[in-house]
């Protein structure tokens, strides 16, 4: 045998992975989805959800809040864009926490306040006139929604963990 044939046969043997072959066959037999090679998201970059209190200079009796979500590297850029749109002097940060999914928390916050008959346009929440809500009550409501979201994720992970222990 020549040297190239020996190198080629050695590389073919080295490329064969028995564990991946067994894994592929078991996934086909039990109808389990194949493992993705590349992941679209970077799990080590946290996502933040925040609320800014907004004071309208033209009508100070209006109660406005701006909600936002962003990944950590884009957080300053997002907040700066909001400051440019509404004015930096008119707002201050009320709530900012890392979350699993800022989009999901934003949707649940909008749904909660829409059920209270608030005006929810885009990222702006506006309390109805003569509402008893102030900054502290809004933060408490959002904190409760954040806690519910964390509780749902915890329950999901625990059910999956229990399921995997049961059938292992």
Per-residue pLDDT tens over the stretch 43-68: 678 899 999 999 887 887 889 999 99
pLDDT over 60 (residue 166):
yes
Q: What is the pLDDT of residue 114?
A: 93
Q: Is 37 helix (H, G, I), strand (E, B) or coil?
A: coil
Range in 33-37, 111-115, 127-131, 135-139 the model is least confident about: 33-37
Asked if 93 and 68 count as a contact pair (C-beta separation under 8 A), the reply is no
Q: Among all chains, which residue has been given the structure tokens 């993705």?
A: 36
Provide the percentage of residues in the chain whose pLDDT is more than 70.
86
Q: What is the pLDDT of residue 3?
A: 58
Measure Cα distances from 32 to 2, 23, 28 in Å.
43, 10, 7
Q: What confidence category does residue 41 fall into, taking pLDDT thresholds of 50, 70 and 90?
A: low
pTM, two decimals, is 0.70
Q: Among all chains, which residue has been given the structure tokens 């190198």?
A: 7
DSSP 5: H
Q: Report which of residues 161 and 10 the model is more confident about.
A: 161
107-128 mean pLDDT: 92
pLDDT tens figures, 61-103: 889 999 999 999 999 999 999 999 888 888 899 999 999 888 8
Distance, CA of 40 to CA of 35 (rounded, Å): 13
137-141 mean pLDDT: 95
């Amino acid at each position: 045998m020549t040297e190239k044939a020996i190198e080629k046969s050695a590389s073919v043997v080295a490329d064969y992975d028995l564990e991946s072959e067994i894994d592929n066959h078991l996934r086909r037999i039990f109808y389990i989805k194949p493992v993705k090679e590349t992941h679209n998201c970077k799990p080590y970059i946290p996502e933040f959800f925040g609320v800014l209190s907004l004071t309208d200079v033209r009508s100070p009796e209006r109660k406005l809040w701006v909600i936002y979500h962003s990944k950590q590297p884009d957080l300053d850029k997002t907040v700066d864009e909001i400051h440019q749109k509404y004015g930096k002097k008119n707002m201050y940060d009320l709530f900012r926490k890392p979350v699993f999914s800022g989009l999901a928390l934003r949707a649940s916050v909008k749904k909660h306040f829409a059920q209270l008959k608030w005006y929810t346009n885009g990222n702006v929440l506006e309390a109805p006139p003569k509402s008893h809500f102030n900054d502290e009550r809004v933060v408490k409501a959002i904190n409760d929604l954040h806690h519910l979201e964390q509780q749902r994720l915890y329950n999901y992970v625990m059910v999956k963990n229990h399921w995997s222990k049961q059938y292992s």
